[in-house]
């Protein structure tokens, strides 16, 4: 899993039906911006654990959900680069 | 998921039957060119969300569809590098 | 999917039974050499679409085929870096 | 599989139910910090084998477990860069 | 698939039961060291084809085997950088 920081919510009104109305977050993986499905309820600035690969689907709630990156936990304490 | 910009459609007349006649788009992931199945109906210049991994298959419409990158949403507003 | 150029066939006489006698091609992904299963019938120099992830298995013809990169189409016209 | 060194345990009290109470470790893959599910019982400093992709789920104990990186073995002897 | 060179066997006595007693090899992917399950019977110095993603499981012998990189063939003739 990756350690990412939540940057901001992402709005994409025009989306495939399979994505439903789940919240999407822009997360920073180092300096790269990725999009993750928020299965937790995060706030910008949170340090989170993101799961990828096929496990992202289950983590988002169902084997059919089309996610390849899902936020599965908020890290209690994290200091960048420490 | 990745944040990409649609560059142009890709024409590949000689393709495996499994790809059907679905539209393929060249998308930019940073400075890298990738090919994504267009499940939305995009226009060059659009900023889009692309899903990879095994989720790209479901997102393209069926578990058997041979995609590893599918456009699943158009971002309402995106400013590069912001 | 990746945009690659076919470099040359790859000969591997000693292989697991599951690979069968399918043709393998060395393809260039930028400057990296990868090996792809040829599901199309390519010629060195062709610009092709390669699918990875679990979709490479279906694209090679069956869910049990052990491929993680399969050539699924030949691009009609491609100019490098254009 | 990747060769990683265990850095420290990771505490994430707020997590999805699917992660259960399994131990998570911060591991170093070269200079990158990743999070792995500990299926072995490791100690900081251990050199370990981490499996990714969909195999990480099975390795964590069940096909439904949402892991994309699982520690599956401790290397008997490893000298970095040797 | 990747083109790798076999460096040496890897000994990990303490491993999850699912890995069984299969031989593991340290392989070089360019300058990166990875661990692959040896489904062929390789010798250090061999140039081999390694399959990743979910196909590595089937290639290792069963859909339940926890591999994300499996050696599936020995290349007949390979000259590095040629």
User: Would you list the DSSP string of chain E?
Assistant: -EEEEEEEE---SEE-GGGTT--EEEEEETTEEEEEEESS---TT-EEEEEETTHHHHHTTSTT---SEEEEEE-SS--TT-
Inter-chain contact A40–D15, Cβ cutoff 8 Å? Answer: yes
- Helices and strands, counts by H and E, chain C: 1, 6
Nearest to C17 by CA among E40, E78, E54: E40
| pLDDT tens column, A11-52 | 999 999 999 999 999 999 999 999 999 999 999 999 999 999
Question: Residue C79: pLDDT band by 50, 70, 90 thresholds?
Answer: confident
Interface check for A75 against chain D (CB to CB < 8 A): the answer is: yes
Interface check for A27 against chain D (CB to CB < 8 A): the answer is: no
The CATH H-level superfamily of B2-11+22-74 is EutN/Ccml (2.40.50.220)
| 3-state SS assignment for residue C15 | strand
The pLDDT, as a whole number, for residue A82 is 61
- Domain ranges in chain B are 2-11+22-74
Interface check for A7 against chain D (CB to CB < 8 A): the answer is: no
pLDDT at C62 over 80: yes
Inter-chain contact B2–A65, Cβ cutoff 8 Å? Answer: no
Burial of C31 (0-12, 13-18, 19+ CB in 10 A): exposed
The CATH H-level superfamily of D2-12+20-74 is EutN/Ccml (2.40.50.220)
The pLDDT, as a whole number, for residue C82 is 61
* Nearest-Cα residue of chain B relative to residue C49: B35
**Distance separating alpha carbons of residues E1 and C1, to the nearest angstrom:** 14
| pLDDT tens column, E3-22 | 999 999 999 999 999 999 99
Question: Residue D3: pLDDT band by 50, 70, 90 thresholds?
Answer: very high
**CB < 8 Å to C68, chain E:** 1, 51-56
The pLDDT, as a whole number, for residue D11 is 96
Chain C neighbours, 3+ Cβ pairs < 8 A: B, E
Region C60-73: mean pLDDT is 95
Strands B14-15 and C69-74, by their bridges, are antiparallel
Calculate the CA A82 to chain-centre distance.
Answer: 22
Question: Which segments in chain B show pLDDT lower than 70?
Answer: 82
CATH architecture of C2-11+21-74: Beta Barrel (2.40)
pLDDT at D80 over 90: no
**Distance separating alpha carbons of residues C55 and C41, to the nearest angstrom:** 19
Inter-chain contact A54–B56, Cβ cutoff 8 Å? Answer: no
Inter-chain contact B57–C55, Cβ cutoff 8 Å? Answer: yes
Class for the domain spanning A2-12+19-74: mainly beta
Give alpha helix (H) positions in A32-72: 55-59
**CB < 8 Å to C72, chain B:** 15-16, 18-19, 66
How many Cβ pairs closer than 8 A exist between chain C and E?
A: 75
| pLDDT tens column, D6-61 | 999 999 999 999 999 999 999 999 999 999 999 999 999 999 999 999 999 999 99
Cα atoms found within 13 Å of the Cα of residue A52, Cβ hemisphere only = 21
Q: Are A78 and A6 in contact (CB under 8 A)?
A: no
Which of the following CATH numbers is that of domain E2-74: 3.30.70.20, 2.60.120.260, 2.60.40.10, 2.40.50.220? 2.40.50.220
Nearest to E41 by CA among C15, B77, C80: C15
| pLDDT tens column, E24-64 | 999 999 999 999 999 999 999 999 999 999 999 999 999 99
């Amino acid at each position: 899993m990756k350690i990412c920081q939540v940057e901001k919510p992402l709005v994409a009104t025009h989306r495939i039906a399979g994505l439903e109305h789940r919240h999407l977050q822009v997360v920073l993986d180092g300096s790269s911006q990725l999009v993750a499905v928020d299965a937790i309820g995060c706030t910008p600035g949170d340090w989170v654990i993101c799961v990828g690969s096929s496990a992202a689907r289950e983590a988002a709630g169902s084997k059919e959900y089309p996610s390849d990156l899902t936020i599965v936990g908020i890290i209690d304490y994290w200091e960048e680069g420490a």
